[in-house]
Structures are given as C-alpha cells and as structure tokens.
C-alpha cells in the first residue's frame, strides 16, 4: 500500500464485461478501466480489487482515501459468497467514515450490506439515457450540490433497491427508479445510474445487448435514438474524487467550466511548457507530479491529432462533393503526402505513431515514478520530439488539403470550408453565452482552453509549447511565435509552401497574406461567435505577410468583458458591434 500521504482510491471491481461483451470491452476497456479514465487518475493513484474473480479485500478501509464500487453483470439477489464477503467489508468501510460511492450494482450492494432490500424492479428494467430529478436533500448534498435540479444520466439495470436501510436518505429519483441516488451515511452514497457511461459506450452496449433488451419489452430503436452524452456524470465522479482527497496534489484537475482536465496554475504558469515542468519536477524529486505531467502532454496533443485527422478526411469529401474528380484528388493528395514525409524511413502510419507516442509517455511516466531522473529527462524529451515530428507532418498535410480547395474551387470557398469543418466546435460556443453563463466563468474557460491548445501545438520558441503572457487594461492574452501550425508558413518552417489569402475576406480578418489554414481561428473565435452570440469569444491577431506588411507572431486575446471589444474587431470580419454591446 501507499504511505499515509499517498492514499489511493480503491476500486472494488464487482464484475467484468470482457467475456460477455468482448466488442464493448475491446473498444472501451473493462469496468475498472472505464472508471479510471472518467476519474482522470493514473495507475499510481488507483488500487483495484476484483472481488467477483475471487480477490480478497484484505486491507482495512482506512488504508484508502476513498472507495468506489463498480457495476456488474451479476445480480445482488443471487447472494453469492463473494457478494456477502464484500458486503461485510463495505459495512465496515461505511462505519469507518471513508468516502464510499456505489454505482448501479455497487449501489445495490451497499443497500444490502446496510440492511436494505434488493430485487427485480417491479416496473421493469431501466436502460438508456434517463432524466434524474434531485430532491431538495440532493441539491443540498455535498456530492450533488453542483448539479442541476434535473440532469440526464445513462443507465442499465434489471434489479433495484426496493427498500432502503435504516437512516438512508433519498436524494434523487427517475420515472422507473425511486432510489436513483441515496445517501447511506455522511460519507457514503449510492447511485443507480452510471455516471461513467458516455453516449458512445451506451450505443455500443445497446448494439451488443439489443436482442436481450428487446425480450424485456424495451423498444430498442427508440432507446438507441434517445441516447445522449449525459454531461453531468463526469463532474459527479470528479466531485466524489475531491471529497476523498485522492490526487489533491495533482497538477492536473477537472475543471467544470471547461468540461475536461486542465493543468492547474496561474496564467503565468499556464504559459510554461508541460515538458519543461515535468523535467523540473522529476529533477526535484516530485515523482508523481512529473509522471502526471508526462502523461498529460499527450492529452494536450490529442485534440490537434484528432482534428488534423477529421479535417483532412472531411476536406477530401468536400472536394469530391464539389465535383472535383476522385482520381485527381487522390493523385494530388498522394503527392502531398510524399512531400510532407520526405526524409523519413519506413511507411507513414499516423495512427500507429500516435499510439507509440502514448507508449513513450507511459515509459517516461514510469521512469519518473521510479525516481530515475537521468533516464526520465531524455524520455520526456523523446515524447516531445516524436509528437513534434508527427504534428508538423499532419499539420502540413491538412494545410495542403485546404490548399487544394482553393486551387480547384477558388480561394473564396475557404470560408465555407471552415464553416463546415468547424460546425461542431462552433455550436459548442453556446456555453459562452452571457445570457446564461457569467462572462468571468467563460473567460476563464477560454483562457484554459487556449493555453492547452497552444501547448499542444508546440507553439513558441524551440517548439516546446511555451508562450508569452500579455496583460492590458481591458484584456489578457497569449502571444507566441511560431504558432506551431499555420504560422509556420510565415517563418518558413513548413514542409513546402501553402496558400495564403490573395484578397481580403471577412473569414480571414480581411487581411492579405494570411495562411488559409489560420483562417479557421477567425471563423471559430470571431466570425461565428459574433453571429451566434453578438460578440467574439476571442480576438486573434494572426501572423501574415503580404509584401507590404508582416507579423511573425500570433496573439489570442480574451477581454475582461465582451462590451470592451472595440468596434474595429467587429469591422475586420464584416460585422458591426451591436448596440446592446456598447460600453456605457
């Protein structure tokens, strides 16, 4: 076990889907892995005991910072020996005061352990995305207080808690389930829904269990159509984690406003390279921090990798749908790939290379945890160099595809292309609407997201992901050169040259000499938010070069209040500042 200052979270694994649902397990991992990913905890902070497989809970409850009991294909009403032994241990855990959370089967097992009754739900099984209504007691509970009064979660269960144990308090219910959330003691909770299940998992689960679900009378097609993301699940799990204190010294935490993990620290600290911070940490003996940061460097890079992949594929489809011959597109893309991979040995396999970067990060994290600083430092640098090589080649492949649109369809079509490519991301900017979200919260989220993106693109001197913080009276921003992606055209660091605007366009700040790839920042940060919200989410000063003027750096600004955005920021994208946004 870990020392008293490094208590881990115990995951009591009560079942497995590997044999019963092999396709689902192959895609998402087994039940403990799904929770580990949702919680954002590395292996060093977890301790898994597979009680369903005969493993024994031999450590006392207070050896752990908290206890999480998973769901299971098994039924509590079966009263198998391992269930009874686990129930006995959980009873002691609740009495010890260690934070405990039971999920689905875990919720039912907790109820059974404490004197409640569990059996088949007389209303029938519950499956899919369900609306959960929190009672007053739930909204006042420390675990659920940050959630809305009604929230959607994903669920799948046949049995339910039929009678609560003495002293339990109902916190939430749904149409089919009277005890969706229960507080069993001051620090012990159970939820019948699955906060760890997202929409993709539920679709895979329904696909795998469709016939079985149909036999219970469930309309599988309707169930599938109603599946949603259930965004309240992740914050709930992270809130439980905060109550346990496990990972309290973590340099990476879940940020509810951003909806994902972020690296903690001041805005000045956000400008530092994650690779450099990991290196400093391992040299100074902060092993866990170094390992966490080494892994997080991959998280920072993931969005860029995924977007490059999506944009290339969708741009190719855009060309074909616009009437460009497939034979021509294929030939030109083949030539483009040859150019961006020049000088490499072996085949260019982006997916495999991305997985290899993850392996390198795990190796670096292992060396950090072992305290082997001399080996860990070059291992961390190997992660950066591998991503740098893959990033730049993928970025230029993407830039080249955008250039093909300008070549075949005309430069004026680039704005429509980016509107199509950025549609999903632009829709997500509704969360920055001041009609329902305080701007202070939105501004903070926009800055965190910007900092992570810039580090992920390896912006700044030496391509290490370090940028400069710029503060002015009305705004705060990040400045960087090169930007790591399109701005490399201006500094000559690309695999070849890629098209820039030859005429002014609203979707590119009405500047000549802006990289066509860089225009996506204009569409995402300024054009679409102005049209949707009435103000830009960020102001972007892009790099450009047009023979008369040039700017080698890029700056992303976030204003202290949207009303402070000057008229000229609106004007350069063909808009006028709305009267209600005028500062009095």
Residues with a catalytic annotation lie at: 104, 194, 196
What whole-number distance in Å separates Cα of residue 528 and Cα of residue 537? 9
Q: Which residues pair with 475 in a beta bridge?
A: 559
* 281 burial type by CB count under 10 A (0-12 exposed, 13-18 middle, 19+ buried): buried
d(C-alpha 252, C-alpha 439), whole Å: 24
Between CA 135 and CA 126 the distance in angstroms is 20
List b or e across 84-114, with b for residues whose CB sees 16 or more CB atoms inside 10 angstroms: eebbebbbebbeeebbbbbbbbbbbbbbbbb
77: left (phi over 0), alpha (psi -120 to 50) or beta: alpha
Backbone dihedral angles phi then psi of residue 557, each to the nearest 5 degrees = -105, 145
Give how far the C-alpha of residue 97 lies from the chain's centroid of Cα atoms, to the nearest Å.
Answer: 32
CB 51 within 8 A of CB 86: yes
* Long-range contact pairs involving 390-393 (C-beta distance under 8 Å, separation at least 24): 390/305, 390/350, 390/353, 390/354, 390/357, 391/301, 391/304, 391/305, 391/457, 391/458, 391/484, 392/488, 392/493, 392/494, 392/495, 393/340, 393/341, 393/348, 393/495
Contact between 160 and 118 under an 8 Å Cβ cutoff? The reply is yes
Q: C-alpha distances in angstroms, 172 versus 118, 128, 183, 222, 534?
A: 17, 17, 10, 24, 38
């Amino acid at each position: 076990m870990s020392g008293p200052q490094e208590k881990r979270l115990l995951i009591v694994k009560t079942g497995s889907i590997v044999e019963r649902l092999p396709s689902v397990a192959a895609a998402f991992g087994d039940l403990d892995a799904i929770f580990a990913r949702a919680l954002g905890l590395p292996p060093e902070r977890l301790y898994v005991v597979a009680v369903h497989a005969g493993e024994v809970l031999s450590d006392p409850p207070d050896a752990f910072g908290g206890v999480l009991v998973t769901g299971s294909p098994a039924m509590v009403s079966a009263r198998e020996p391992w269930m009874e032994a686990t129930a006995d241990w959980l009873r002691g855990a609740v009495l010890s005061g260690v934070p405990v959370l039971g999920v689905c089967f875990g919720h039912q097992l907790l109820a059974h352990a404490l004197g409640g009754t569990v059996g088949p739900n007389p209303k029938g099984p519950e499956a899919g995305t369900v609306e959960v209504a929190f009672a007053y007691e739930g909204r006042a509970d420390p675990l659920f207080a940050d959630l809305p009064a009604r929230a959607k979660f994903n669920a799948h269960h046949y049995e339910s808690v039929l009678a609560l144990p003495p002293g339990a308090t109902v916190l939430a219910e749904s149409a089919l389930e009277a005890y969706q959330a229960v507080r069993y003691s001051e620090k012990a909770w159970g939820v019948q829904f699955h906060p760890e299940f997202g929409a993709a998992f539920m679709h895979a689960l329904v696909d795998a269990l469709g016939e079985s679900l149909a036999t219970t009378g469930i309309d599988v097609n309707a169930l599938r159509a109603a599946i949603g993301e259930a965004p309240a699940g992740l914050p709930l799990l992270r809130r439980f984690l905060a109550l346990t204190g496990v990972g309290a010294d973590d340099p990476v935490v879940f940020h509810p406003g951003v909806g994902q993990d972020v690296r903690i620290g001041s805005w000045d600290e956000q400008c530092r390279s994650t690779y450099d911070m990991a290196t400093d940490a391992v040299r100074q003996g902060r092993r866990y921090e170094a390992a966490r940061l080494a892994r997080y460097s991959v998280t920072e890079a993931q969005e860029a990798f995924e977007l490059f992949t999506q944009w290339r594929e969708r741009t190719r489809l855009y060309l074909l749908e616009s009437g460009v011959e497939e034979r021509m597109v294929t030939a030109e893309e083949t030539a483009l790939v040859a150019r961006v991979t020049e000088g490499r040995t072996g085949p260019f396999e982006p997916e495999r290379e991305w997985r290899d970067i993850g392996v390198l990060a795990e190796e670096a994290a292992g060396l950090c945890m072992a305290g082997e600083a001399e080996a860990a430092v070059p291992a961390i640098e190997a992660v950066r160099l591998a991503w740098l090589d893959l990033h730049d080649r993928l970025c230029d492949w993407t830039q080249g595809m955008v250039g093909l649109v300008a070549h075949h369809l005309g430069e004026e079509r680039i704005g429509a292309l980016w509107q199509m490519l950025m549609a999903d991301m632009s829709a997500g900017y509704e969360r920055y609407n001041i009609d329902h979200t305080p701007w202070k919260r939105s501004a903070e989220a926009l800055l965190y997201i910007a900092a992570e993106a810039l580090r992920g693109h390896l912006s700044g001197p030496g391509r290490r992901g370090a940028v400069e913080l710029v503060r002015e009276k009305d705004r705060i921003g990040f400045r960087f050169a090169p930007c790591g992606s399109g701005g490399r055209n201006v500094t000559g660091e690309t695999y070849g040259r890629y098209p820039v605007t030859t005429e002014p366009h609203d979707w590119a700040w009405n500047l000549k000499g802006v990289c066509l790839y860089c225009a996506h920042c204009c569409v995402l940060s300024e054009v679409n938010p102005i049209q949707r919200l009435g103000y830009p989410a960020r102001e972007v000063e892009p790099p450009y070069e047009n023979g008369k003027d040039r700017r080698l750096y890029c700056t992303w600004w976030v204003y202290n209040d949207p009303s402070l955005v000057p008229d000229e920021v609106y004007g350069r994208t063909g808009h006028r500042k709305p009267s209600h946004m005028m500062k009095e």
